[in-house]
Amino acid sequence: MSLGALFGAAQLADMLWPVLVGLGIEQVRIDPGNTAMTPLDFVSYPYSHSLAALVVWGVVFGWVCRRFVPERRVFWVIFLLVVSHWVLDVVTHRPDMPLYPGGPKLGLGIWNRPAVEKTIEIGMYAIGLWMYLGVTRARDGIGRWGLFGLAALLFAGYIADGVPPSVTALWITALVLGTLTLVWSMWADRHRVLRQG
């Protein structure tokens, strides 16, 4: 299974979100101080971020990936990665994560405790990168430096700070960066191979 598929599954909610915001189906407000970590107020995102919607998206994406990779576990890995986005967002977000469209919203609000949030997310990022490097090796310079560049871009994007100038600039930037990182991950992964054993 490719890194692109894994990345796409884990980030599917955040890749759907800018499209739905751009179409006016979901809403976000720029509200500096909304939480300590982000100036965004996620007013409504039931179709990209509710648990029920992500279960549906997980089934669809898992089914599609299973058509390309004929292994039974592929469906479950993709499905669980899609749904894990909701679980992890519930930990970080204030109570704005819907169970289903129009349903109750949950959130533990770790975004209001930046030191704790950064420790958890950077730790998870480092473990994921370490696991990927442990099972693959570069077959050429692109596999080595392409992956290094992707890892650096993702980390820089995480630590970047600032207030977007408008909602339009926000969703366009999110869409461009999401697409770039997805394509980049597929490109780098094609230049890596599984380690023996």
Which tens digit of pLDDT belongs to each residue from 21-80? 999 999 999 999 889 899 999 999 999 999 999 999 999 999 999 998 888 899 999 999
CB atoms within 10 A of CB 144: 15
C-alpha–C-alpha distance, residues 158 and 110, integer Å: 15
Write down the pLDDT at residue 197.
60
- Give the pLDDT mean for 168-191: 94
What tokens does 171 get? Answer: 């969703």
Segment 144-164 shows an average pLDDT of 91
Tell whether pTM > 0.75.
Answer: yes
Q: How far apart are CA 166 and CA 182, in angstroms?
A: 24
Residue range 76-113, pLDDT digits in tens: 999 999 999 999 999 999 999 999 999 999 999 999 99
Tokens of 38: 């982000």
Mean pLDDT score of the chain: 94
